[in-house]
A and B are shown apart, each in its own frame.
Chain A
Amino acid sequence: EAQVTQNPRYLITVTGKKLTVTCSQNMNHEYMSWYRQDPGLGLRQIYYSMNVEVTDKGDVPEGYKVSRKEKRNFPLILESPSPNQTSLYFCASSLSLAGVLEQYFGPGTRLTVT
């Protein structure tokens, strides 16, 4: 089944404790991205990747890191999480550039930072 998977689905952590949210897609998509969803703000892009070893900042990259060592995986890293990073996070992928082609979304990761 074609899908985007994220782990963990739920995470409660404390300020400053490094964490990684994994994202994997099995559709051989080139384009992958991370979003955070906050009430009243819709989805805002954190980082995106056009292909392996090619990443770029989205609208809200501060406090996050990403890497794209393999085509299928695009982990999101929070080196020192803070409470303002409490949010719902979505990973997405697309066959190519985001323009014409729709993105496929993972199920989301709900992160709480205390």
Chain B
Amino acid sequence: AQSVTQLDSHVSVSEGTPVLLRCNYSSSYSPSLFWYVQHPNKGLQLLLKYTSAATLVKGINGFEAEFKKSETSFHLTKPSAHMSDAAEYFCVVSDRVDMRFGAGTRLTVKP
């Protein structure tokens, strides 16, 4: 069985400072991992995905994530937060048929 744990339900940063959203996963297989973003009253948009290629994955809007198998982690980072980054972020683990979502991390960006 697979599972995902997002270690922080809420993260608050100041505009221009780094963002770190933490995600640990558990999977019996070599998983695919995703980060999705959900802006208020919107659907989910794919930020980036890891599919057993390069361990450092670059996504849209300056986000990136690093797959660390030894730590079973897939943390999402961005060097400098922007006000438009305020949203809910979901870490997702998937094998071929089962996709598991984390509970989400709400990112607040202060001016």
Name the residue of chain B whose CB is nearest to the CB of A33: B99
Cα A41 to Cα B44 in complex, Å, equals: 15
**Is residue B82 contacting chain A, with contact meaning CB distance below 8 A?**
no
Contacts from A to B (Cβ < 8 Å): 4, 33, 35, 40-45, 48, 50, 90, 92, 97-100, 102-103, 105-108
Contacts from B to A (Cβ < 8 Å): 4, 9, 32, 34, 36, 41-46, 49, 51, 90, 94-99, 101-104
| Given A90-B44, A102-B49, A105-B44, also A42-B97 (CB < 8 A) | no
Name the residue of chain A whose CB is nearest to the CB of B91: A42
Name the residue of chain A whose CB is nearest to the CB of B36: A105
Q: Which residues of B contact A4 (CB under 8 A)?
A: 43
Min C-beta distance of B28 to chain A, whole Å: 13
Q: Which residues of A contact B99 (CB under 8 A)?
A: 33, 45, 98, 103
Min C-beta distance of B71 to chain A, whole Å: 21
Are B94 and A98 in contact, CB atoms less than 8 angstroms apart? yes
Cα A50 to Cα B97 in complex, Å, equals: 9
Are A102 and B96 in contact, CB atoms less than 8 angstroms apart? no
Are B94 and A42 in contact, CB atoms less than 8 angstroms apart? no
Are B103 and A97 in contact, CB atoms less than 8 angstroms apart? no
Cα A4 to Cα B104 in complex, Å, equals: 22
Cα A48 to Cα B96 in complex, Å, equals: 13
Name the residue of chain B whose CB is nearest to the CB of A35: B101
Q: Which residues of B contact A43 (CB under 8 A)?
A: 44, 90, 101
Are A98 and B46 in contact, CB atoms less than 8 angstroms apart? no
Are B101 and A44 in contact, CB atoms less than 8 angstroms apart? yes
For A90, A99, A103, the residue with the greatest tally of chain B CB atoms inside 10 Å of its CB is: A99
Q: Which residues of A contact B45 (CB under 8 A)?
A: 105
Would you mind naming 11 contact pairs between A and B with Cβ atoms under 8 Å apart? A42-B102, A42-B104, A43-B90, A50-B97, A90-B43, A97-B97, A98-B98, A102-B34, A102-B49, A103-B99, A108-B43
